[in-house]
Structure 1
Amino acid sequence: MLLPWEYGVRNLARRPVRTALTLVALATVVMLVFVVVGFIRGLEQSLAVSGDKQVVLVYSVTSEENIENSSILAQTPSLLTASLNTAVRRFGVTHVSPELYLGTRVKTDEGDGGLGLVRGVTLSAPLVRRSVKLIEGGWPGEGQVIVGRLVAAKLGSSDESLLVGKSIWFEGKEWKISGRFAAGGAAYESEIWCKLGDFQSTTKRQDLSLVAMLLSPGGSAAEVQLFCKERNDLELRAIRETDYYASLQQHYKPVRLLAWFVVALVSAAGIFAGLNMMYGAVAGRNREIATLQAIGYRRRAILASLVQEGVLLAAAGSLLSGVIALTMLNGIAVRFTMGAFTLRIDSVAILIGCGVGLLLGVVGALPPALKALRAEVATSLKAV
C-alpha cells in the first residue's frame, strides 16, 4: 500500500524554509540549462535560416570559408551575366548582387562600439537577399547606412545609439543611419549595409568580396561551378548559399559540442547539489521513516513518497525556470564571432530543461532515501 499523495505534499509545507531553498537551487540549475540550450538552438537556427537554396555565392577560392578575406575582380558580375544565363532576369534587371564585405571597428556617437560587419551593396541586393525587409526608414544614400536589428548586440552598444538619424563612424568616416532592417533571424541582421561605390571609395578598394546570384527556376548551381572551374585564371569558387552556411554549421560544431558538455556538467552539478539538499532533508526524518515502517508501510511505499517530494520540488523549479526563460531570456541577443543571434527557448529547449529538472528530482532523492530505509527500525526510533 502506498502512502497518500497528500502526505508528501504536506511534508513539503511543514519545512517551508528548507523547501524554498531547495526549490531555488533546483530552479537555478534548470535555468542554467535553459541558457546553454537556448544558445545552441539560437546559433543553429540563425545558420539554418541564413541560406537561400536559390542563391549561389561566387567568391575567391583562396579565402576558403572566410568571405571577409575574399577578393575578386570588380568585373566578375558582368563576366558571370555575360557567360551564363542562370540568374533571374525581370524587367531587364539581372538578380546579381556584387558585394564588398569586411569586418571593421565601428563607433557610435555615444562613444561605445566594437568590431562590426559592414557590407557594401547595390540596389539589386534586396532582389537577391529576399529575407531582408526594411522595418524603419529608407534605403541608404551617399554617406548613409542601414543597420540590422542585431547590430547593437554585435557592437555591444545600446539600441538607442543606432536609431534612425543617429551617426556611426567606421573607416575614418561619419555615416548617417537612414534605416533599419530585419531578415527573419538570418546572419544579415548583425550587419551594417551601405552603398557599394561609397564603401569602395572610403576603403580605397575597387575589388569585391563576393557576387550573389539568384538562380532562375531553370538555372543550376552546377553551371556556375563549371564556369568557375573553366575560368581558373579568375580563381573563383561557387557554392549554394545553403551549403555555405551548412559548412559553417560544421565549423561551429566544436562550439556546440562544448555547449552540450556544459549542459552535462551543469546537470551533474545539479544532481550533486540535489543529493546534498535531500540528504539534509532526509537526515532529520529517521524517526518519521522508522515510524511509518513500524505501522506497516513497506519500504518501497516510503521510498515512492520521498521520491514524490523530490519530483514535486523539481517540477515546480522547472516550471518556474521555464516561465522565466520564456518571458525574459527568449529572444535576447547574444554577440558571437559570426555576428549576433538571439537565444531561442523553443520546444526542444523546454523539453531538455524540464527533463533535466525532473531527472534531478528523481536521482537526487533516491540515494538519501535508500540510505535512510536501510537503517534499523529500532535504532531509528531512538534517534533524537
Structure 2
Amino acid sequence: MLLPWEYGVRNLARRPVRTALTLVALSTVVMLVFVVVGFIRGLERSLAESGDREVVLVYSVNSEENIENSSIAARTPTLLTASLDGTVERFGVIHVSPEMYLGTRVSTGQGEGGLGLVRGVTQTAPLVRRSVQLIEGNWPGEGEVMAGRLAAAKLGSQDAALAIGNRITMEGQDWTISGRFVAGGAAYESELWCRLSDLQIATQRQDLSLVAMLMSPGRSPAEASLFCKERTDLELRAIRETDYYASLQQHYKPVRLLAWFVVLLVSGAGVFAGLNMMYGAIAGRTHEIATLQAIGYRRRAILISLIQEGVLLAAAGSLLSGAIAITVLNGMAVRFTMGAFTIRIDSTAILIGCGVGLLLGVLGALPPALKAVRESVAIGLKAV
C-alpha cells in the first residue's frame, strides 16, 4: 500500500523555508540549462536560416571560410556574367550582386560602439538576397547605411542608437541611418549595409570581397566552379551559399560541443546540490520514517513518497524556469564572432530543460531516500 499523494504535498508545505530554498536552487540550475541550450539552438538556427540554395558565392580561394579576408578583382562580376548563362535574368537585369564585406570599428552618436560587420552592395542586392526585407525607412543613398535587426546587438549598443536619422562613424566618415531591415533570422541581420561605391571610397579599395549570383532553377553551381578552375589566374572558388553556411556549422562545432559539456557540468552540479538539500531534508525525518514503517507502510511506499517530494519540487522549479526563459530569455540578442543571433527557447530547449529538471528531482532524492528507509526501525524510533 502506497502513502496518500497528499502526504508528500503536505510535507513540502510543513517546511516552507527549506522547500523554498530547494525550489530556488533547482530553478537556478534549470535556468542555466535553458540559457546554454537556448544559446546552442539560436546559433544553429541562425546558420541554418542563412543562405539560399539557388545562390552561388564566388570569392577568393585564399580566404578559406572567412569571406572578410577575401579580395577579388572588380571585373569579376563582368567576367562571370559573360561566361555563364545559368544566372537569372529578368527585364534585362542580371541577378548578380557584387559585394564588399568587412569588419570595422563602428561608433554611434551616443559614444557607444564596437566591431561591426559592414556590407557594401548595389541595387541588385535585393534580387539576390531574397530574404532581406526593408521594414522601416529607405534603401541607403549616398553617405547612408541601413541597419539589420541585430546590428545594434553586434555593436554592443541599444537599438535606439541605430534609429533612423541617427549618425554613426566608421572608416573615418560619418554615415546616416536610412532604414532598418530583417532577413528571417539569417546572419545578415547583424550587418550594416551601404552603397558599394561609398564603401570603396571610404576604405580606398577598388576590389570586391565576393560576388553572389542567383542561379536559374535546375542549374548547378558546378558551372561556376568549372569557370573558377579554368581561370586559375583569378584565384576564385565557387560554392553554394547553403554549403558555405553548412561549413560554418562545422567550424563552430567545437563551440557547440563545449556548450553541451557545460550543460552536463551544470546538470551534475545540480544533482550534487539536490543530494545535499535532500540529505539535509531527510536527516531530520528519521523518527517520522521509522514511525511510518512501524504502523505498517512498506519501505517501497515510503521511498516512492520521498522521491515524489523531490520530483514535485523539481517539476515546480522546471515550470518556473521555463516560464521565465520563454518570457525573458527567448529572443534575447547575443554577440558572437560571426555577428549576432537570438537565444531560442524552442520545443527542444523546453524538453531538455524540463527533462534535466525532473532528472535532478529523481537523482537528488533517490540516494538519501534509500539511506533513510534502510535505517533500523528501532533506532529510528529512538531518534529525537
Q: TM-score, normalised by structure 1?
A: 1.00
Match of 2:85 in 1: 85
Contact 1:85–1:219, Cα closer than 8 Å, also in 2:
no
User: Which residue identity is paired with 2:240?
Assistant: R
Report the counterpart of residue 365 of structure 2 in structure 1: 365
Q: Which residue of 1 aligns with 2:306?
A: 306
What is the CA RMSD across the aligned residues, in angstroms? 0.5
For residue 344 of structure 2, give the secondary structure of its aligned residue in structure 1: coil
Letter in 2 for 1:100: M
* In structure 2, C-alpha distance between the alignment counterparts of 1:148 and 1:318, rounded to whole Å: 34
Q: What is the SS of the residue equivalent to 1:85?
A: coil
After superposition, give the CA deviation of every residue in 1:96-116 in whole Å (9 maximum; x if it has no partner).
000000000000000010000
3-state DSSP class of the match of 1:100?
A: strand
**1:139 alignment partner, SS class:** coil
* Amino acid paired to 1:71: S
The amino acid of 2:97's aligned partner reads S
Whole-angstrom CA distance in 1 between matches of 2:124 and 2:295: 83
Matches within 5 A, 1:52-91: 52-91=52-91
Looking at structure 2, the residues matched to 220 and 292 of structure 1 have their Cα atoms a distance apart, in angstroms, of 75
Any idea what the Cα deviations from partners look like across 1:104-162, whole Å, max 9, x if unmatched? 00000000100000000001111100000001000000000000010111000111111
Residue identity opposite 1:300 in structure 2: R
1:218 deviation in Å? 3.5
Structure 2 counterpart of 1:287, one-letter code: H
User: What is the Cα deviation at residue 374 of structure 1?
Assistant: 1.3
- Which residue number in structure 2 is paired with residue 21 of structure 1? 21
Q: Distance in 2 between matches of 1:359 and 1:189?
A: 38
Looking at structure 2, the residues matched to 348 and 10 of structure 1 have their Cα atoms a distance apart, in angstroms, of 33
CA distance in 1 between partners of 2:372 and 2:219 (Å): 72
Paired with 1:284 and 1:87, the residues of 2 have a C-alpha distance of 77
2:18 aligned partner, one-letter code: R
Distance 1:369 1:218, change over 3 A: closer
Equivalences for residues 331-342 of structure 1 within 5 A = 331-342=331-342
Deviations 1:70-106 (CA, angstroms, capped at 9, x unpaired): 0000000010000001111000000000000000000
Partner SS state of residue 254, structure 1: helix
Per-residue CA distance 1:246-305 (angstroms, 9 max, x = gap): 000000000000000000000000000000000010000000000000011110100000
* Match runs of 1:228-243 below 5 Å: 228-243=228-243
Q: Which residue of 1 aligns with 2:144?
A: 144
Asked if 1:204 corresponds to 2:204, the answer is yes
- Structure 1 residue 210, shift from structure 2 partner: 0.1
Q: Distance in 1 between matches of 2:96 and 2:372?
A: 73
Q: Please give the alpha-carbon distance, in whole angstroms, between the structure 2 residues aligned to 1:218 and 1:266.
A: 48
Distance 1:166 1:57 in 2: 33
Uncovered stretches (5+) of structure 1, i.e. residues with no partner: none
Report how many aligned residue pairs link the two structures: 384
Correspondence 1:1-384 to 2 at 5 A: 1-384=1-384
How many Å apart are 1:217 and its aligned residue?
1.2
Residues 203-229 of structure 1: CA distance to partner in whole angstroms, max 9, x if unpaired? 100000000000111421011111100
- Alpha-carbon distance in 2 for matches of 1:247, 1:238: 14
Ranges in structure 2 where 5+ consecutive residues have no aligned partner: none
C-alpha distance in 2, partners of 1:367/1:202?
67
Distance, in Å, in 1 between the alignment partners of 2:51 and 2:270 is: 38
Counterpart CA distance in 1 for 2:86 and 2:205 is 28
Q: Which amino acid aligns with 1:381?
A: L
Which letter does structure 1 place at the counterpart of 2:114?
G
- Note the alpha carbon deviations across 1:152-188, whole angstroms, 9 max, x for none: 1100011111100000000000000000000011000
Percent pairwise identity = 81
Q: Deviations over 1:4-35 (max 9, x none)?
A: 11100110111111111100100000000000
Instruction: Decide whether the 8 Å contact of 1:33 with 1:353 is kept in 2.
Output: yes
The residue type paired with residue 46 of structure 2 is S
The CA distance in 1 between the partners of 2:253 and 2:202, in whole Å, is 36
TM-score, normalized by length of structure 2?
1.00
| Distance (whole Å) between structure 1 residues aligned to residue 199 and residue 51 of structure 2 | 25
State the AA in 2 paired with 1:323.
A
